[in-house]
């Protein structure tokens, strides 16, 4: 039995689908602060299998330990957390509490229940301002906002924990920019309010929910002046978790890998690809730069290939086509059903 904290969220639901397809039993532990139970039902529809749902907060050690024991959990994939950079600047305590304290409580509950295998959702945000590209795992770590600092603190806690007790099996997966959706169109990203991230915003423009995209700056030192990122299909990302889990179960140790494609695409590349995939216009206007953005950020993904035998398989067309299938079929997210 594998526990997925935050398993009702965007990335968690896609991980659950892949786990169920690979024959694992799954327990989702989520407090639905940024998701809906409908998402879990959709996972079951796609999979043709049931999973176990525990509604709870990772900061509740009693509920966590009970769930770990009751369901005989062997490993935890830890996706639960808050993720909005801007919100983290306004509400730092909520971010440190949910992300850092929540992870501490989870680790304590795992230790109490005798579960020592953890895969953690980290982020390329821990590299701070890139000093070189592509980003290798050895790049210096830093953070520029409370969200990023919470991820860096958690990584440090995990490294200290492993140093103190090498029987822990810990995978730190540094995601680049997850986009796209399951090919069924039944699950996908469902942001509350105005999307911060590029692809959900573009998708809402294409479906007619918003009139046009603000492109945050076209004067960066990039080929077309707009920001460059390493967009990775969420199903490829999910698959990376299964590979990391298999690695940890076989080898143990502390694993730290980038999950990215190694390709950088600009904002305008994404707009063009999405317009082609959807057949809809994506009007945009260029605005001043967004505070805190870097010009370019993309991964050196070869460590994940070397250690896990994992590489991203899906290209930009699939990312956009799958995001569009989800968006056009569910214009109001899970509220559509
Ligand atoms: P999401 O908000 O869709 O999913 C997170 C899930 O965690 C939600 O279902 C939410 O209800 C749950 N949750 C939050 N706090 C909780 C708590 N205290 N107790 C129980 N459940 C709680 O986000 P996502 O995009 O699926 O991200 C998953 C993880 O990946 C996060 O840790 C995020 O920081 C990390 N990450 C995401 C991105 C991205 O761009 N989406 C990039 C890098 C890293
Ligand atoms: N962008 C726009 N208009 C928008 C939204 C985004 O032009 O409406 C541009 C941004 O300026 C950037 C690119 O699109 O150049 C990607 O922006 P996103 O917000 O989608 O992604 P970021 O790379 O800025 O942020 C992501 C994660 C964060 C994480 C950060 C650093 O969402 O959680 O990477 O790793 F902190």
The encoded tokens of residue 20 equal: 């169920």
Ligand 2 centre to CA of 44 (Å) is: 31
Would you say the C-alpha torsion 225, 209, 45, 72 has a positive or negative sign? Answer: positive
Q: At what angle do helices 37-47 and 10-21 cross, to 10 degrees?
A: 30
| Residue located via tokens 């299938």 | 325
Residue 90, SS3 per DSSP: helix
Q: Find out whether the beta carbon of 11 lies less than 6 Å from any atom of ligand 1.
A: yes
147 is catalytic: yes
Q: Find out whether the beta carbon of 28 lies less than 6 Å from any atom of ligand 1.
A: no
Instruction: For domain 2-181+231-261, give the CATH number.
Output: 3.40.50.720
The encoded tokens of residue 200 equal: 């959900």
CB 322 within 8 A of CB 315: no
pLDDT at position 336, please? Answer: 55
Q: Are strands 265-266 and 228-229 parallel, antiparallel or unpaired?
A: antiparallel
* Dihedral (Cα; 137, 238, 332, 215), 10-degree rounding: 30
pLDDT at position 186, please? Answer: 97
pTM comes to 0.98
If 0-12 CB within 10 Å is exposed, 13-18 middle and 19+ buried, where does residue 71 land? middle
Q: Find out whether the beta carbon of 174 lies less than 6 Å from any atom of ligand 2.
A: no
Q: With CA atoms as reference, report the closest residue to 113 among 144, 73, 76, 56.
A: 73
- H or E stretch covering 304: helix 302-308
Q: Find out whether the beta carbon of 263 lies less than 6 Å from any atom of ligand 2.
A: no
Q: How far is CA 332 from CA 35, 185, 222, 264, 275, in A?
A: 13, 13, 34, 30, 20
DSSP-derived secondary structure letter, 101 = I
Ligand 2 centre to CA of 197 (Å) is: 5
User: Distance between CA atoms of 29 and 185, rounded to whole angstroms?
Assistant: 23
Question: Can you name the residues that pair with 118 across neighbouring β-strands?
Answer: 76, 170
With a cut of 50, which residues of the chain have pLDDT below it?
Answer: none
Residue 231: asked if its preceding bond is cis (omega within 30°), the reply is no
Would you say the C-alpha torsion 136, 322, 1, 30 has a positive or negative sign? Answer: positive
Residue 256, SS3 per DSSP: strand
Q: With CA atoms as reference, report the closest residue to 304 among 182, 188, 134, 149.
A: 134
Pure H helices in 181-288: 198-206, 234-251, 267-278
Q: How far is CA 215 from CA 138, 219, 279, in A?
A: 31, 11, 20
Which atom of ligand 2 has the smallest separation from the CA of 287? 7
Ligand 1 centre to CA of 107 (Å) is: 17
pLDDT at position 337, please? Answer: 52
Q: Where exactly are the structural domains of the chain?
A: 2-181+231-261
């Amino acid at each position: 039995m594998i526990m997925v904290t935050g398993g009702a969220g965007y990335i968690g639901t896609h991980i659950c689908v892949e786990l169920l397809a690979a024959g694992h039993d799954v327990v989702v532990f989520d407090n639905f602060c940024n998701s809906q139970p409908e998402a879990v039902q959709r996972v079951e529809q796609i999979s043709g299998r049931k999973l176990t749902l525990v509604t709870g907060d990772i900061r509740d050690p009693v509920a966590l330990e009970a769930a770990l024991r009751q369901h005989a959990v062997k490993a935890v994939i830890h996706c639960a957390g808050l993720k909005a950079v801007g919100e983290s600047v306004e509400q730092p305590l909520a971010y440190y509490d949910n992300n850092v304290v929540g992870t501490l409580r989870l680790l304590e509950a795992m230790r109490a229940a005798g579960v020592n295998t953890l895969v953690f959702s980290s982020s390329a945000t821990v590299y701070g301002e890139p000093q070189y590209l592509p980003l290798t795992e050895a790049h210096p770590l830093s953070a520029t906002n409370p969200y990023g600092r919470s991820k860096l603190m958690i990584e440090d806690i995990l490294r200290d924990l492993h140093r103190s007790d090498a029987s822990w099996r810990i995978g730190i997966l540094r995601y680049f920019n997850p986009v796209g959706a399951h090919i069924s169109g039944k699950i996908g990203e469902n942001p509350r309010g105005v999307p911060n991230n590029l692809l959900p915003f573009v998708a809402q423009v294409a479906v007619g929910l918003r009139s046009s995209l603000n492109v945050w700056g076209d004067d960066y030192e990039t080929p077309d002046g707009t920001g460059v990122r390493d967009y990775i299909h969420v199903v490829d990302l999910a698959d990376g978790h299964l590979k990391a889990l298999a690695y940890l179960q076989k080898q143990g140790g502390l694993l730290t890998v980038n999950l990215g494609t190694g390709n950088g695409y600009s904002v305008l590349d994404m707009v063009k690809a999405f317009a082609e995939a959807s057949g809809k216009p994506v009007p945009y206007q260029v605005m001043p730069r967004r505070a805190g953005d870097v010009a370019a950020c993309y991964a050196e993904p070869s460590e994940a290939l070397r250690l896990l035998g994992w590489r991203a398989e899906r290209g930009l067309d699939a990312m956009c086509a799958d995001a569009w299938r989800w968006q056009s079929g569910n214009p109001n997210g899970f509220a559509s059903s």
